[in-house]
């Protein structure tokens, strides 16, 4: 039942809500968008998160869908408001979210370094190998293929978000959660270091 509700929520949000929002945005009686476009967009984001919570869908998915719907809104006023909200989120909400993730980590009791190293090698190998194979099939050179592999291997924020959602739903245990978060951080740092070295040495990231 939860899977059906989640899929239905995604379908309605992606297929119906963009058209409905275009209609609502054009209404003269829409006083909220006239008074504050940023407040209007924040209201939409909170509304999606609230509906997701009521439907017992993870609020992260609700926020994601809200971002997609808001991103489809056209017009200079919406573009400027999205930039303001993005800056506010990067400076306030996102640091708070990752601080909450950090509070869930217990590196003393739940960090299994053998599992972490083994899973890091396993995940990195297959991610890199698959990406390099695919890029070589489209005739990219080895350096460009390796760069694509490093970029795709960086789990970053999305990897941490998915690990958090899986942990909150009870899909993975605490040691696995710790390993996934640390792997997301490690692979992102590794990609950043490699690209900095490549740029400093003048290597092309993608060879034309």
Report helix, strand or coil for 70.
helix
**151: in domain:** yes
Looking at the structure, tell me whether residues 149 and 190 fall in a common domain: yes
Looking at the structure, tell me whether residues 129 and 190 fall in a common domain: yes
* Angle 202-186-151 from CA coordinates, rounded to 5°: 45
**pTM strictly above 0.85:** no
Residues of the chain with confidence (pLDDT) below 70: 208
**205: in domain:** no
- Total domain count, the chain: 2
Q: What is the pLDDT at residue 191?
A: 93
Residue 156 · residue 184 · CB < 8 Å: yes
Residue 150 · residue 193 · CB < 8 Å: no
Q: What is the pLDDT at residue 180?
A: 93
Looking at the structure, tell me whether residues 100 and 120 fall in a common domain: no
Report helix, strand or coil for 55.
coil
Q: What is the pLDDT at residue 153?
A: 93
Residues in the chain: 208
**Domain C-terminal end among 50, 80, 104:** 104
Q: What is the pLDDT at residue 108?
A: 82
Q: What is the pLDDT at residue 126?
A: 95
Give the domain extent around 46: 2-104
């Amino acid at each position: 039942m939860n899977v059906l509700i989640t899929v239905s929520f995604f379908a309605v949000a992606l297929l119906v809500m963009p058209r409905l929002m275009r209609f609502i945005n054009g209404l003269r009686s829409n006083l909220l968008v006239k008074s504050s476009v940023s407040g209007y967009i924040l209201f939409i984001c909170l509304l999606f998160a609230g509906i997701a919570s009521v439907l017992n869908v993870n609020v992260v998915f609700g926020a994601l869908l809200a971002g997609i719907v808001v991103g489809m809104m056209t017009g200079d006023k919406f573009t400027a408001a999205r930039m303001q909200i993005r800056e506010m989120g990067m400076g306030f909400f996102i640091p708070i979210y990752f601080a909450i993730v950090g509070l869930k980590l217990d590196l003393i009791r739940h960090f299994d370094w053998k599992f972490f190293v083994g899973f890091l090698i396993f995940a990195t190998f297959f991610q890199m190998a698959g990406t390099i194979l695919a890029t070589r099939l489209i005739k990219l050179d080895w350096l460009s293929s390796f760069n694509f592999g490093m970029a795709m291997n960086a789990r970053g924020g999305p990897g941490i978000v998915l690990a958090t959602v899986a942990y909150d739903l009870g899909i993975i245990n605490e040691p696995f959660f710790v390993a996934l978060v640390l792997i997301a951080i490690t692979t992102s740092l590794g990609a950043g270091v490699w690209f900095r070295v490549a740029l400093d040495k003048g290597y092309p990231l993608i060879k034309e």
